[in-house]
Amino acid sequence: MHVLILGAGGHGRAVCEAAWDAGFAPRGFLDARAPLPPMLGLPVLGDEAAHDGGPLLIALGGNRLRLEAAARLGCPLPVLLHPSVVRARSAELAEGAVVMPRAVLGALARIGRLALVNTGAIIEHDVVLEEGAHVAPGAVLCGGVRVGARAVVGAGAVVAPNLSIGADAVVGPGATVRADVPAGAVLAGAPARSLPRGV
């Protein structure tokens, strides 16, 4: 499938490499900072105005940015599932979901619209990621965890079974979460403790 990639930053380049591995044919990048030199041998064609309505991989690191871009552009959003992902047959992925190399999707896991499962993350059985959520590299979500819309689970964090991470919450890198996380909260540490927003 021929696609454009929205975002020519580091995440965009990683998505491009994953797209090649998954059999996509990226045609180039779109980026608000255009004009930019070619990335990975592909042209940066302009900003969103250069989008021709075709399929788009939205490679913006900000959760809210991905959702807002999709709402503005209203185009097909293919699922990107790297071929090295270990995926249970019953795992479900909504439009625009991106699952990067060596991730694991367990039985009955549900990956929401424009959610991002980054490199090496483990999404165990019955986990739900709501739209725009991001599970960073190496994070582990044990069985039955629910991650709210636009929430972030940081690199290497571990979330104990059957917990809920509220919408827009941020779990810091390496945190160990042993209790439900309220919407909008920021947590860090092992065990995870609440921090003031913006830290």
**What's the pLDDT tens digit per position in 86-144?**
999 999 999 999 999 999 999 999 999 999 999 999 999 999 999 999 999 999 999 99
Q: Do residues 83 and 171 both lie within one domain?
A: yes
Q: Is 197 within the bounds of a domain?
A: no
198 has pLDDT over 80: no
Q: Is 65 within the bounds of a domain?
A: yes
Q: Do residues 108 and 86 both lie within one domain?
A: yes
pLDDT-based confidence at 199, cuts 50/70/90? low
pLDDT tens digits along 54-98: 999 999 999 999 999 999 999 999 999 999 999 999 999 999 999
- Percent of the chain predicted with pLDDT > 90: 95
Q: What is the reported pTM?
A: 0.95
Q: Do residues 68 and 86 both lie within one domain?
A: no
What is the residue-averaged pLDDT of the chain? 96
Q: Is 60 within the bounds of a domain?
A: yes
Concatenate the DSSP letters of all residues of the chain into one string.
Answer: -EEEEE--SHHHHHHHHHHHHTT-EEEEEE-TT-S---BTTB-B--SGGG--SS-EEE--SSHHHHHHHHHHH------EE-TT-EE-TT-EE-TT-EE-TT-EE-TT-EE-TT-EE-TT-EE-TT-EE-TT-EE-TT-EE-TT-EE-TT-EE-TT-EE-TT-EE-TT-EEPTT-EE-S-B-TT-EEETTTTEEE-TT-
Look at residue 192 in the predicted model and tell me its pLDDT: 87
Q: Is 112 within the bounds of a domain?
A: yes
CATH number at residue 43: 3.40.50.20
Q: Do residues 45 and 61 both lie within one domain?
A: yes
Q: Do residues 136 and 116 both lie within one domain?
A: yes
Q: Do residues 93 and 18 both lie within one domain?
A: no
Q: Do residues 132 and 111 both lie within one domain?
A: yes
Q: Is 187 within the bounds of a domain?
A: no
What residue numbers bound the domain in which 137 lies?
79-182
Q: Do residues 131 and 53 both lie within one domain?
A: no
Q: Do residues 33 and 62 both lie within one domain?
A: yes
Q: Do residues 97 and 68 both lie within one domain?
A: no
Q: Is 53 within the bounds of a domain?
A: yes
Q: Is 196 within the bounds of a domain?
A: no
Q: Do residues 106 and 61 both lie within one domain?
A: no
Total domains present in the chain: 2
Q: Do residues 67 and 84 both lie within one domain?
A: no
CATH number at residue 130: 2.160.10.10
